[in-house]
Amino acid sequence: ARGTERRVAEAGPAPVRLGVADIEAVLGPPRFDGPRDVAKRVTKPGIALGLAATAYGGETLYVEVEMVKGKGAVQLTGNIKEVMQESAKAALTWIRAHVSELGLTDAKAESLLTTTDLHIHFPEGATPKDGPSAGVTITTALCSLLTGRLVRHDVAMTGEVTLRGLVLPVGGIKEKVVAAHRAGVRTVILPEANEKDLRELPKKVVDSMRFILATDVRQVIDAALVPLHDETGDTAGGQAGGGGPPATDGRQGEP
């Protein structure tokens, strides 16, 4: 920092050109590279990126799901509280009730109930996690694992899911979307009832984001999962599925 100040002082009123190396010398190396970090973590079926609101602001929240031989049990780890455990159970019940709709065979559905254990993990266990807003993320991660379809690595999501598959509104939308933006994610799936909360976002965030508004978890799955013939995980070509939820660039409904 002193070296930069000296250069400025010696240069007088003329502007000083700073490069990346100069900035890193003052601030240190980058803490993370948002888009690349997300892409590196969402590399196989069963991983989805959610969003959480904490006392310190918004945070990205990964959900990882894996299958092992067992007896139909479900294990949840990652310092999660009671409400989030209930969200995981509701997500699994919805999936078990819609196995044929998801394209799962009868044998796989039977295996899910009787001979397979599911492990749902929330990394970064030092951070307590609670609330219903991970419902859509858990459901998406489970569907991804069971169908073998990747989750798009440039999509984050939040929302509560009922046993009937309805996507209910959640709190902390401003903090969550800002967290997604900070992580380099530019598409966020939200409950349709939370559209009004987009007005609270900074304009520079709104202008660079795309929002997909959902009322049913099927819409979330269609928008979030990559078709089996496309393993790129990019959303530039549009969302998966033909009858997906409405999308907005965020400027709709601004005051």
How high is the pLDDT of residue 2? 64
Active-site residue among 87, 129, 133, 144?
133
Half-sphere exposure of 168 (CA within 13 A, CB side): 12
How high is the pLDDT of residue 42? 76
Closest CA to 75 of 117, 37, 131: 117
Proportion of the chain in helix, strand, coil states, percent, rounded to 5: 35, 20, 40
- Which amino acid, 77? T
Host H or E run for residue 108: helix 106-114
How high is the pLDDT of residue 236? 39
pLDDT less than 50: residues of the chain: 235-243, 251-255
d(CA 249, CA 154): 15
d(CA 136, CA 224): 10
d(CA 83, CA 95): 19
d(CA 216, CA 98): 13
Active-site residue among 87, 144, 174, 176?
176
d(CA 245, CA 255): 23
d(CA 74, CA 91): 12
Annotated catalytic residue 40: no
How high is the pLDDT of residue 11? 60
How high is the pLDDT of residue 231? 58
d(CA 201, CA 85): 30
- Which amino acid, 239? Q
Q: pLDDT tens-digit profile of 151-183?
A: 998 999 999 999 999 999 999 999 999 999 998
Q: Which of helix, strand or coil describes residue 42?
A: coil
Cross-strand bridge partners of residue 119 = 66, 75
Host H or E run for residue 122: none
How high is the pLDDT of residue 14? 63
Contacts 24+ apart (CB under 8 A), 239-243: 239/212
Annotated catalytic residue 176: yes
d(CA 136, CA 45): 16
Contacts 24+ apart (CB under 8 A), 228-231: 228/147, 228/148, 228/149, 231/150
How high is the pLDDT of residue 71? 86
